[in-house]
Amino acid sequence: MIIKNYVTELSQKYASKWLVFAIDLGIVMFTFFLAYFIRFNFTLNFDLVQFFIQLPFILGISALSFIIVGSFKSVIRHTGLLDLINLFKATLLIAGFSVALVLVNRSVQLVEGFTIPRALIAMHALLSFMFLSASRLAFKILYKRIKCHLMATKRVLIYGAGDAGILTSNTLLNNTSSRFIVVGFIDDNENKAGKSINGIPIYSKERLNKAYLELQNIDEIIVASEKIDHTNIMPLIDLQVKVTKIPPVEQWINGELNVKQIKQVQIEDLLGRPPIQVNNPNLQNEFRGQTVLVTGAAGSIGSELVKQLSNYDVKQIIMLDQAESALYDVEQDLKRNSKSNYKALVADIRDGLRIDSIFQKYQPTMVFHAAAYKHVPLMEESPYEAIKINVNGTKLLADTASRYNIKKFVFISTDKAVNPTSVMGATKRLAEMYISCLQKESKTKFITTRFGNVLGSNGSVIPLFKKQIENNKPLTLTHREITRYFMTIPEASQLVLEAGTMGKGGEIFIFDMGQSVKIFDLAKNMIKLSGLRYPEDIDIQITGLRPGEKLYEELLANGENTIATYHSKIMISKTRAIDYERVKPEIEELCITNRFQNNNIVIKMKQLIPEYKSNNSDFERFDKRVQIYKKAKALVTEKNDNNYKGL
């Protein structure tokens, strides 16, 4: 770092614009002499007196031309095509002024016998441009050579020999903060193999192997193509070399790539599917002029919803959460991004009076309900708390929205509500059922969205693995065969907004999340992404399934099918029929009775949700009891029906 700063300081101190100006004038004087020397057959058989008379005029004309064009102001070590064009303009201007001076002198006779042959002027212009350009290129090469010897260098391969790859190469070579040597390009197009770009060879994919990387001492592979998917990136990760990736072109700063924007490949790039894109102009129309309330606004999904909604022409965003510190952070992010149409409120969705006062004061027209308890093992220990937030909190919020005739209420559910095996999943399913019941009697359009795990959310497996890797600890995994569906936070939030726009009321929208991901493979890939080896550097420990945890998640419950929508990644679930008249009062009763009686709460939920079967939990013992209860109830119902028929 000290050497790098010293080299940079020297180049700035001794390569000032006035020094460049003086050197340029010296070059022009030299080339004027050289033009005479060549013109007279490489001899000095020319009128030296006339030469020294002409020299001051050439000096003045050249100084004026350089000042007009400003060619001496460019940073020499970054000389590019535009700088050479400016030099060409300056030499043309020198030639033009020289011809004009000769013509004026012929007419006015300012200087007796003063003239410059036109052939000599043309030759001088050509030589000046050549020597001025060469001086800049020589300085640029010299600077890079010195920096290369004095600074640590990084040898890289660029994956992708298209426009993005060429721009990446230029960015690396022109970077001043660190030194890169681009060893070569790798491209999928076999027709490019064997060719070169700016002297850098292009290789086919077959060249990518450990032996070649070790031979060339490759430090890093930079992926410089948006068309390269996970199937191409995974083999790079297996080479156990650092793999980085340039951002999409639209994220470049002022249309230019910066070395600092080149980031290490993230686990999101290895999901096994292309990123989900939402580009619906109807979203702008949907949210224009709306006052949107977002609950759980300090959480992973809630904060991203707030961020994305702030980009639309909404009237106001009401951010509601009981976590004041996290909510404050979201508020500060909006301030930094010059957003003003928001209001942060600390509130508990279980407080009906507080929620009612918020609706009365701010009059929201749309609600996105993301607040929930979501950690499966914790909720398995505290069913009463899960009921209070996930069911009763949703009920109070939905009832208030219905009472104020809110336009739309979008409930963010989870795939754990499908054939639930945990208290958390069962409470989310009960909340789905309640708002479905409310849809039958309300003017508000109640919409439910279901999706799987969100990468990077609070408490998810990805941050846990990252912490364990940072601390050089083994990664802990509950089961070797466990699988999950994954989606990034922006993807999930975009689809929630899209589903909210297309919803007519009463739908349960399911997001297509591609193929499920084996968490064991995910853990190994994260170790490789960190430049470590499994199991030599970091091992993976199997700890056993936690209470309520599934081996794999589902997006559809037993007996459910889907209906396609205009968005290929969003489907509507055709859920089983619900006895609304019976279910709604029983859910209401569950919310106000059985306080702290966890066993009674779980039994009641199992009675309301036929598909709820506990897994790896103490509550498994109630499954048989509920089955016996259901059979007895069915026999009583059948007996009553037969008696009725006998009448």
Tell me: the pLDDT tens digits for 435-471? 999 999 999 999 999 988 887 776 678 888 888 988 9
- The position carrying tokens 């589902």 is 554
Better-scored residue on pLDDT, 487 or 450: 450
- For 371, other C-beta atoms within 10 Å of its C-beta total 28
**What is the DSSP code (8-state) at residue 576?**
P
Least confident stretch, 21-30, 50-59, 178-187, 228-237: 228-237
Helices 81-108 and 48-69, interaxial angle, to 10°?
Answer: 130
Under the banding of pLDDT at 50, 70 and 90, the label for residue 152 is low
Q: What is the pLDDT of residue 73?
A: 81
Q: What is the pLDDT of residue 272?
A: 60
**Burial 73-83, CB ≥16 within 10 A → b, else e:** ebebbebeeeb
Q: What is the pLDDT of residue 6?
A: 46
Question: Does the pLDDT value for residue 11 go beyond 60?
Answer: no
Cα–Cα distance measured from residue 95 to residue 58, given in angstroms and rounded to the nearest whole number: 9
Least confident stretch, 53-62, 260-269, 543-552: 260-269
Q: What is the DSSP string of 360-373?
A: HHH--SEEEE----
Q: β-strand 179-186 against 200-203: which pairing, if any? A: parallel
Q: What is the pLDDT of residue 558?
A: 63
> How open is the CA angle 329-331-334, to the nearest 5 degrees?
110
Least confident stretch, 93-102, 147-156, 396-405, 413-422: 147-156
Residue 563 CB burial class (10 angstroms; 0-12, 13-18, ≥19):
exposed
Least confident stretch, 258-262, 426-430, 504-508: 258-262
Least confident stretch, 146-160, 266-280, 346-360: 266-280
Q: % helix / strand / coil in the chain, to the nearest 5?
A: 55, 15, 35
| Closest by Cα among 256, 200, 222 to 80 | 256
Residues 6+ apart with CB under 8 A from 486: 271, 452, 453, 454, 455, 513, 517
Cα–Cα distance measured from residue 156 to residue 222, given in angstroms and rounded to the nearest whole number: 7
Question: Does the pLDDT value for residue 525 go beyond 50?
Answer: yes
Residues 6+ apart with CB under 8 A from 634: none
Q: What is the pLDDT of residue 529?
A: 79
The size of the chain, in residues, is: 647
Q: What is the pLDDT of residue 7?
A: 45
Region at 193 (left for phi over 0; alpha for psi -120 to 50; beta for the rest): beta
**Average pLDDT rounded to a whole number, residues 355-377:** 96
Question: Does the pLDDT value for residue 119 go beyond 50?
Answer: yes
Least confident stretch, 53-67, 229-243, 436-450: 229-243
What percent of the chain clears pLDDT 70, i.e. is strictly above it? 87
| Closest by Cα among 414, 433, 418, 435 to 559 | 418
Cα–Cα distance measured from residue 138 to residue 76, given in angstroms and rounded to the nearest whole number: 10
For 153, list phi and psi in degrees, rounded to 5. Answer: -110, 155
Least confident stretch, 16-20, 92-96, 254-258, 634-638: 634-638
Q: Per residue in 330-340, pLDDT tens?
A: 999 999 888 88
Q: What is the pLDDT of residue 639?
A: 54
Question: Does the pLDDT value for residue 71 go beyond 80?
Answer: yes
Question: Does the pLDDT value for residue 182 go beyond 80?
Answer: yes
Among 9-13, 74-78, 115-119, top mean pLDDT goes to: 115-119
Q: Which residues pair with 244 in a beta bridge?
A: 222, 264
Catalytic residues: 416
Reading the block at residue 228, the tokens are 């390269």
Q: What is the DSSP string of 15-64?
A: S-HHHHHHHHHHHHHHHHHHHHHHHTTTS--S-HHHHHHHHHHHHHHHHH
Better-scored residue on pLDDT, 489 or 229: 489
Cα–Cα distance measured from residue 197 to residue 643, given in angstroms and rounded to the nearest whole number: 90
Q: What is the pLDDT of residue 637?
A: 56
Cα–Cα distance measured from residue 213 to residue 209, given in angstroms and rounded to the nearest whole number: 6
Q: What is the pLDDT of residue 14?
A: 45
**Average pLDDT rounded to a whole number, residues 599-619:** 92
Cα–Cα distance measured from residue 126 to residue 95, given in angstroms and rounded to the nearest whole number: 9
* Mean pLDDT of all residues belonging to the chain: 85
Please check whether residue 427 is in contact with residue 391, taking contact to mean a CB–CB distance below 8 angstroms: yes
Torsion of CA 6, 7, 13, 14, to 10 degrees: 140
Residue 504 CB burial class (10 angstroms; 0-12, 13-18, ≥19):
exposed
Q: What is the pLDDT of residue 559?
A: 61
Residues 6+ apart with CB under 8 A from 310: 317, 334, 337, 339, 341, 342
Question: Does the pLDDT value for residue 596 go beyond 80?
Answer: no
Residues 6+ apart with CB under 8 A from 596: 384
Cα–Cα distance measured from residue 409 to residue 424, given in angstroms and rounded to the nearest whole number: 21
| Closest by Cα among 479, 481, 423, 429 to 614 | 423
- 3 state DSSP class of 238: helix
Better-scored residue on pLDDT, 21 or 576: 21
Q: What is the pLDDT of residue 367?
A: 98
Q: β-strand 263-264 against 242-245: which pairing, if any? A: antiparallel
Least confident stretch, 99-103, 193-197, 322-326, 604-608: 99-103
**Average pLDDT rounded to a whole number, residues 601-621:** 92
Region at 85 (left for phi over 0; alpha for psi -120 to 50; beta for the rest): alpha
Reading the block at residue 603, the tokens are 């039994």
Torsion of CA 299, 305, 307, 311, to 10 degrees: -170
Q: Which helix (H) or strand (E) holds 292?
A: strand 291-295
Better-scored residue on pLDDT, 203 or 337: 203
Cα–Cα distance measured from residue 232 to residue 417, given in angstroms and rounded to the nearest whole number: 35
Please check whether residue 234 is in contact with residue 270, taking contact to mean a CB–CB distance below 8 angstroms: yes
Please check whether residue 402 is in contact with residue 438, taking contact to mean a CB–CB distance below 8 angstroms: yes
| Closest by Cα among 404, 395, 340, 397 to 368 | 397
